[in-house]
Amino acid sequence: MKKDYNIEDLFESLQGAFDREAPPAGHRERFRQRLASQGGGVAASGRSWWKPLSIAASIILLLGTGLVLLRPSGTLEEQVAEISPEASQTSFYFANLIEQQVNELKDLSGPDTEPLIEDTLRRLELLEADYRRLEQDLVAGGNSKLILSAMITNFQTRIDLLQDVMRQIETVKDFKDESHDTYTI
């Protein structure tokens, strides 16, 4: 049968067996010399590469995970193109058409038409902001048919606005030309 010892009995039985002496002088230097003569001790056993390799692997793993999790999912336009390639093509077409009309509008700018053009550009910015919100709604998973319809309506509204302003500018120019034609000096 086993004898049950409590901790005090254990220490009493080991009394005097503990090594309480300090190592002799120069112990550390002799130990270092032995390690150096054996090729570094740890290096001789072949384990010196293990710790740096595991640290490097951990860093690569953390960076890889971070890149995957924190990677931006692309621009809003790219996300819309993934959801609906047709919407992306339509957006490209309408955006180019609107840009051309805005450039024509800016070319017609003059002292009589400048306030009208500035107001139109502000309205276009508001419509563009609405369009961006619609894109975000589409990417967030809203009712795609309804949102795509609203996006097309937004483009059409911008084009109609530009055409109306172009007609108003032409009317202003025609009126100015007519008023100058009736007076002779």
The reply to whether 182 falls in a domain is no
DSSP letter for each residue of the chain: -PPP--HHHHHHHTTT-S--PPPPTTHHHHHHHHHHHTTSSHHHHT-TTHHHHHHHHHHHHHHHHHHHHH-----HHHHHHHH-HHHHHHHHHHHHHHHHHHHHHHHT--TTTHHHHHHHHHHHHHHHHHHHHHHHHHHHT--HHHHHHHHHHHHHHHHHHHHHHHHHHHHHHHHHHHHHHH---
Confidence of residue 1 (pLDDT cuts 50, 70, 90): very low
Is the predicted pLDDT of residue 170 greater than 90, yes or no?
no
pLDDT tens digits, 23-51 = 788 888 888 888 888 865 444 445 577 88
> How many domains in the chain?
2
Which of the two residues, 10 and 142, has the higher pLDDT score?
10
Of residues 104 and 16, which shows the higher confidence score? 104
Span 110-136, average pLDDT:
88
The model's pTM is 0.53
Domain boundary among 20, 43, 71: 71
Report the C-alpha gap between 113 and 117 in whole angstroms: 6
Q: What is the pLDDT of residues 56-108, one digit of tens each?
A: 888 988 888 877 777 666 666 666 666 767 777 777 888 888 888 888 888 88
109 and 88 co-located in one domain: yes
Give the range of the structural domain holding residue 116, as residue numbers without chain letter: 76-177
Q: Are residues 122 and 161 in the same domain?
A: yes
